[in-house]
Structure 1
Amino acid sequence: MKMIPPQPFTYRAGKRAVLLLHGFTGNTADVRKLGRYLHEKGYTCHAPLYTGHGGAAEELLELSPENWWRDAEEGYRLLIAEGHTQIAVAGVSLGGVFALRLGAEYPVAGVVSMCAPIQGKSAEELFERIVGYARQYKTFEGKMPDTVQAEVEALESLPREQLSVLQDMISETGRQLKDIEAPVAVMQGGLDQQLYLDSAKVIYENVPNPCKSYTVYPESGHILTLGAEQAEVFEDVYRFLQTLQWGECD
C-alpha cells in the first residue's frame, strides 16, 4: 500500500498564534483538528512534524530526541519570523513536555499541557510505544502478519540509547517547571495510565503562575485531541487562550 506521509501544517489567520506539538510516535494528525478549530476562531496555528515521525519505527530508535526538540524550537521561530510576537504553545504527550520546556526557555503567552509525562517513564515503556507503533505501521503498509511479527521482533536487537536520552529530557523539563512564567492549562485524560495522571498533578502544583487550571476528562484516554471528549477539550483550549488576553489573565 502506498503510504502518504504526514506533513507539517500552518493555518494562517490573526496575529495571535498557537504552536501545536504532537506526541512521541505520533504525527501532526494528533493536533490537526484542534488546529482547524482554533483557525476558525481566528488563531494562526502551526504544527511541525518531528524528524523521523510518520515513517518507519526503526528510525525512531536511531534519532536523538534532541532532533525533535529542535523541530519544536524551529516551529516557534517560524511563527516569530512571520511576525507573531505573542505565541501560545499547546502539546499532547511529548508535545506537552516540549510545550512546557518552551514555556520555561522562551517568551510565550500561555502553555497548554495535555497528558504530558514528567516523571517515571521507563525506557522499556518507551520501547513498547515504538513496538506498538511499528506493528500498526507495518500492518497499514499491507505486510503479512508473519512479516510484521518478524520485523517487530527484530526491533529488539536495535540500540536503545536514545530512549535514555528521552528519559533525561523529560526529567529535566520537570525540573524547569518553576521557570515557567506564563499561565498554564493542564489537561489530562481520566482513562490514561496512572503515570500521566500523577504527572498532571505534579505539573499543576509546580508551575508558579497563579493563572493556571487543571482539568481531567473522565471519558478520555491519552490523546485528548482525538478522544471521546474532543469537543470539550477544544472548547477548553479556546477558552484558556481567550482568558490570556495575550499577556494577562482575568
Structure 2
Amino acid sequence: MRLLPPKPFYYEGGERAVLLLHSFTSNPNDMKKLGRYLQQNQYSCYAPTLSGHGLPAEELLNYGPTDWWQDVLDGYQLLKDKGFEHIAVVGLSLGGVLALKTAQELQINGVVTLSVPMDKEAALLKERILYYAKRYKQLEGKDDKQIASEMAELDHLPFESLTDFEQLINRTRDHLTSIVSPVCVMYGELDDPSYMTSAEKIFQSVTSDQKTINGFANSKHLMTLGKDMNAVNQDILAFLNELSW
C-alpha cells in the first residue's frame, strides 16, 4: 500500500497570520486542530510540509535543515504574498527550532515553541528515524521479513542530514540572546526531562521583554494532540491576542 504524503494547509480566518511548523518525522496533520482553533478565533494559518516529511525514511534522509529552512522562508513569503503584514510563528519540536530561527532572522510578531530540543545528538535523531522507518513500513503493509531486510539496508545509508540537524539546534541555541520578539515557551511534563531543561534554557536566554514559560502536566511530546490540547490551544491564543498587531 502506497501512503499518500500529507499536504500543507491554509486556513483563512482573519487579518492576523500564524505560520505553523510541525515536528521531525511528522507532518502538518499534527497542527490541524490548533490551526482550526486559531481560525475560529480570527487567525489565518499556514502549515507547510517540511521537505521529505510524510515520505519513507529513505527519502526523508535526502533532505536536511537547509531544505527545511527554505520551506519556512517559502511559507513566510506565502503569507506575505497574501497581504499579511504581521506574522507570528508556532513550532513543535523541530518546528520550534525553526520558529526560533525565524525570530533570529526575520521580522515576526511573536514566537511559540512547544517541546523544543536545545541539545540533541545525531545518534538520538537516528533512533527516531529508525522508529519512523519501521512504523512507516508497517503501515505500508509489508511483512516482518521484508521490513527486517529493508531496515538492515537503511542502517547503511548516509545520515549526514542528522548531523546537520544537530548543528542547526546548536547554532540556534547559541544565538538565543538575539531574540527580542515576544516568546511563549511550552513543554510537556510527561516528555523526556531534557525538554523541560531546554524550555528553561530558551526562556532564560532570550532577551524578549515579553516572555512566558509553561509546563503541562498531562502532555507528552506531541502537545498539539495530547490530553492538554485544549489548554495548550487556549494559552497559545491568549499569547497571540496579547501581541502588538
Please, what TM-score do these two structures have when normalized by structure 2? Answer: 0.97
Give the aligned partner of residue 130 of structure 2. 131
DSSP-derived class of the 1:196 partner: helix
Alpha-carbon RMSD across the aligned residues, in angstroms, is 1.0
Taking the TM superposition and a 5 Å limit, the aligned residue runs for 1:1-250 are 1-119=1-119, 121-246=120-245
In 2: Cα distance, 1:21 partner to 1:241 partner? 16
Alpha carbons 2:180, 2:209 under 8 Å: kept:
no
In 2: Cα distance, 1:63 partner to 1:97 partner? 16
In 2: Cα distance, 1:63 partner to 1:245 partner? 36
Deviation at 1:14, TM superposition (A): 1.1
In 1: Cα distance, 2:78 partner to 2:56 partner? 27
In 2: Cα distance, 1:168 partner to 1:4 partner? 31
Alpha carbons 2:52, 2:61 under 8 Å: kept:
no
In 1: Cα distance, 2:191 partner to 2:239 partner? 22
DSSP-derived class of the 1:62 partner: coil
Alpha carbons 2:188, 2:216 under 8 Å: kept:
yes
Please, what TM-score do these two structures have when normalized by structure 1? Answer: 0.95
In 2: Cα distance, 1:60 partner to 1:25 partner? 8
Deviation at 1:210, TM superposition (A): 2.5
CA deviation profile, 1:65-110 (whole Å, cap 9, x unmatched)? 2101110111111101111111000000000000110011111111
* Between 96-105 and 141-150, the greater mean CA deviation after superposition: 141-150
In 1: Cα distance, 2:184 partner to 2:196 partner? 14
CA deviation profile, 1:127-175 (whole Å, cap 9, x unmatched)? 0110111111111111112212221222110111111111111110112
In 1: Cα distance, 2:111 partner to 2:178 partner? 13
Deviation at 1:215, TM superposition (A): 0.4
* Between 150-159 and 27-36, the greater mean CA deviation after superposition: 150-159
Moved over 3 A (4+): none
Structure 2 residue identity aligned to 1:141: E
Deviation at 1:64, TM superposition (A): 2.6
DSSP-derived class of the 1:232 partner: helix
DSSP-derived class of the 1:52 partner: coil
Structure 2 residue identity aligned to 1:24: F
DSSP-derived class of the 2:158 partner: coil
DSSP-derived class of the 1:103 partner: helix
* Between 145-154 and 181-190, the greater mean CA deviation after superposition: 145-154
Deviation at 1:6, TM superposition (A): 0.3
* Between 199-208 and 173-182, the greater mean CA deviation after superposition: 173-182
Alpha carbons 2:117, 2:169 under 8 Å: kept:
yes
* Equivalences, count: 245
Alpha carbons 2:52, 2:62 under 8 Å: kept:
no
- Which structure 1 residue ranges, 5 or more long, are not aligned? none
Structure 2 residue identity aligned to 1:239: A
Structure 1 residue identity aligned to 2:14: G
DSSP-derived class of the 2:155 partner: helix
DSSP-derived class of the 1:117 partner: coil
Deviation at 1:10, TM superposition (A): 0.5
Alpha carbons 2:122, 2:166 under 8 Å: kept:
yes
